[in-house]
Every structure is written in structure tokens, then in C-alpha cells.
């Protein structure tokens, strides 16, 4: 399920000495984007804290294809490319694209949900996660 792309705004701190986007900024921006998407579908930080669950990452990898420089208009999107049947494990791909749709970078994240008290993977997932995934699938189908 692929969701609508959102624009990103580069900050001075996102740049490296070569005046293009610093490698770690891709990870930071993608992480914030994931949290923003979850929040939009009801999986807020407050809900996660109250229900004692959070996302946990197993692998995160970024492939850099083209520079992102100050003043570039760039969008980041969010797509679940794999989701386990019980929704406990997932793979998300973020693509950083310019105004013409050219891919600047592709960041892939594999993760799951963890019980923050027990420090173990969550199965079954809380209802709020199932509801969010269902809402995301509906939006993707529109």
C-alpha cells in the first residue's frame, strides 16, 4: 500500500561539507515521516505509550542515486511493500523524489512492533494498529 508523498524541507543541519544532503538526514527524515503517517492514522505516540508498544527496526538501508542540494524540491513517500498476515512485521520503502518524479534515494526499513514493557515482539498487534492498516489500505485503493 502506497501513500501520498509529502514535501520535505532541508535544514542547514541536513547538509554536509559538500553542500548536499548528509547521509544520516535521509534516515532522520524517513523516521519522522513514518511517525507522521502513523499519527495520521491514529497510532500516536500517546497511544503507543499508553498501550506499551512501539515500532522496532531490524534493518534500515538507504541507496543514494542522485544528490539532493539546497533549494531542491523533494518529496518523500511511504509504501508498505510487505506486511505479515497478522500485521506484526512489515517492510516500508521510502523514496525521495524530485518534482519530476526522479528518484534521488530509496530507503528500506524492516521492522515489527515491540511490547515496551516485556521487550518482546507484539503478537497479536493492538487493535489500533489493525485499524490503521485497514485505513491505509482504503486510502491506497482510492
Per-residue pLDDT tens digits for 28-80: 999 999 999 999 999 999 999 999 999 999 999 999 999 999 999 999 998 99
Nearest to 125 by CA among 80, 84, 81, 78: 84
> What pLDDT does residue 1 have?
66
Which CATH number is 101's domain given?
3.10.129.10
Question: How many domains is the chain built from?
Answer: 1
Burial class from Cβ neighbours inside 10 Å (0-12, 13-18, 19+) for residue 105 reads buried
Count the alpha carbons within 13 Å of 131 in the hemisphere toward its beta carbon. Answer: 10
Percent of the chain exceeding pLDDT 90 equals 79
> What pLDDT does residue 45 have?
96
> What pLDDT does residue 141 have?
53
Judge if pTM exceeds 0.85: yes
Q: Which three cell numbers stand for residue 31?
A: 523516521
> What pLDDT does residue 92 have?
95
**Count of other CB atoms within 10 angstroms of residue 38:** 20
Domain limits for position 78: 2-141
Q: Which three cell numbers stand for residue 55?
A: 515500532
Amino acid at each position: 500500500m502506497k501513500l501520498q508523498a509529502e514535501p520535505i524541507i532541508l535544514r542547514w543541519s541536513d547538509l554536509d561539507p559538500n553542500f548536499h544532503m548528509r547521509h544520516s538526514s535521509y534516515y532522520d527524515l524517513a523516521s519522522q515521516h513514518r511517525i507522521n503517517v502513523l499519527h495520521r492514522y491514529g497510532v500516536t505516540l500517546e497511544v503507543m505509550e499508553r498501550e506499551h508498544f512501539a515500532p522496532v527496526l531490524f534493518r534500515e538501508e538507504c541507496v543514494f542515486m542522485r544528490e539532493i542540494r539546497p533549494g531542491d524540491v523533494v518529496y518523500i513517500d511511504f509504501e508498505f511493500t510487505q506486511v505479515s498476515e497478522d500485521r506484526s512485521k512489515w517492510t516500508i520503502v521510502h523514496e525521495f523524489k524530485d518534482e519530476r518524479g526522479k528518484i534521488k534515494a530509496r530507503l528500506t526499513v524492516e521492522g515489527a512492533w515491540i511490547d515496551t514493557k516485556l521487550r518482546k515482539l507484539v503478537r497479536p498487534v493492538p487493535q489500533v494498529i489493525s485499524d490503521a492498516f485497514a485505513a491505509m489500505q482504503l486510502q491506497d485503493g482510492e
